[in-house]
Structure 1
Amino acid sequence: MTDDVKETSSRVPLGGPRTAPPAPAALAAKVRTLAPSMTRSMQRVAEAVAQDPAGCAALTVTGLAELTGTSEATVVRTARLLGYPGYRDLRLALAGLAAAQQSGRAPAITTDIAVDDPIADVVAKLAHDERQTLADTAAGLDTAQLGAAVTALAAARRTDVYGIGASGLVAQDLTQKLLRIGLIAHAHSDPHLAVTNAVQLRAGDVAVAITHSGSTGDVIEPLRVAFERGATTVAVTGRPDGPVTQYADHVLTTSSARESELRPAAMSSRTGQLLVVDCLFVGVAQRTYAAAGPALSASYEALAHRHGSGRRRA
């Protein structure tokens, strides 16, 4: 390892815990997103506050610990994991969420899709869950982190995007969008190619890792390499406490619908990831509009000409 790489590897990622606690509207989304990665005792606390925010808002830390069969320390740890400095802040958010539910602004949790559901019910349930995922992702998205990521992408010499499986499709979507506005971008789903390309990155480049679990090794490794080479790194993940954030300067958190047999993780996480990708693209297009506008027009004209030529040949 060279001296300059040693120096960049000592960087501290900026994408750590946020100082501002989540708004009440984002609390339910945070519980749904983080519960799978919590300990069982912390899950009991999270489930209690999600199921009865009004009742839990009226409880002291001791009362909630007794209700969930846990300890006061567990309640406080759960509050902090959800993004609140302490239990008092969580109680205030619970009160706000309860008020929203009573006024009808907070949607009810839908039931899972059953094997024998009529197709009309499948459409309705999926549409509801997609809307909820979009709302949860928007509510929990740190716009300061988003703005910083947009700034880095807009000025990047080159952008590499890493994703495996369904996240790889989202990585391709982001790359395709950046290419259409004249930026240099590459999507990597092969872990070996991802690492060998990450070695070529340096300061002024950007690396984006897309992983809902936040623990996909084939995505984390190239991001680590890019981070150590001095590139600006961005993680798009459903687990803001996941290992991928160790090497992320900016963390963009996504939400997803509750997983089930007929709604696997890859399907439930995709909607939130695509929203974040669209936000990144629109932000970059705004920042680079002098060049992005003509590039988009040229791509539209090229596609229109190709389609028109195809119709004439037919």
Structure 2
Amino acid sequence: MGARPRSAEPPARGSGVRLCGGNGDQFPGPVRNASVPAAQRRTSWLSGIGIVRRMALLLFVLVLLPIGGVLALIESGMALDSVDMLVASLAVGLGLLAPVSRAAAYFLVLHDLRTLNEFSSEIQKGRYGARFAVGLETDDEHEMLRLRRNMNWMAHHIETQTRKLHVRLDESDLRKRFYEEMSYRDPLTGLYNRRYFDRFLPDALRDPARKEGIFLALMDCDGFKRVNDTRGHQAGDEVLASLGRVIAESVREGVDVGFRFGGDEFGVIFRTFEFSACMGACERIRTRFAAGNIDGCTVSIGLCAWTPGQNSDATELVQVCDSCLYKAKSLGGNRVVTKKIAPMATGLFSPATG
């Protein structure tokens, strides 16, 4: 998945929402009671009281207690006359109307709505590990507690399905990369194919971070046509597979790029600018393949270099290297022909050597 949900900022204080569970860095770990913010601990007692009980408690505080106070004053003879009592009651009632209304609304519904909104906000941000602290389930739970428990299950389900989706996306990404890799491989030799070469070489030449040049070697199997014509395609495939193994074993794995250019033509892109190292690798390929004595086949190699800052492109580099290969073949094969870098040369290559 491209950008996965990650935690943004911690929940607001007093939200009544705890974060627990999670996988990796996507979801915060469990939050124990000792780490719950102080403001949350002060208000969390309200979550355990149902709406009906809150209403009863509110009526008791706002109605029964004042009536009891008035009756006590009358009984003690300290009560004022009815007009003064009415005026005083209205004055006190008007003064307390706004704060009492706010307190009553918070006491009845606003606290729960606020925590539910904060919980929903956590889910919206992709923090699917958010949970209400609800404790163990009992048979006589009030409706708000059941709602919170159900929302916990909802978040758990979303978290589980999201994890499964991430796993499937990861598997899909792995399959995609596998098939992409296979599309760049030659099935007979296991080396990279012409398609990968045509993509890799121009990118390597255009890389602005490259401070050194690269060497390109093109190879042709001497005597392959004779084997293919006289002994058949299976014998010819064995020759090509053997040359592919020799190339893979003679270059640096994960650094140099061996490929099958097409037919009996192979090559290597050396990601180094040390001529002696590249020449040594080409000689290893030549001598090891000849030592295998596979139907008398040998290999001819053309080796040339490219330096950053030159105006040549991939096509020109291949043409120059191919001319070296052609010269190696014309000289009888089983040899390496190079165009080494000349330190003071104005062009790309110095005269060919063989």
Indicate the TM-score class for this superposition, using the shorter chain for normalisation.
under 0.3
- 1 or 2, which has the higher helix percentage? 1
TM normalised by structure 1 equals: 0.18
Bigger Cα Rg: 2
TM normalised by structure 2 equals: 0.17
Greater relative contact order, per chain length (Cα 8 Å cut-off, separation 6+): 1
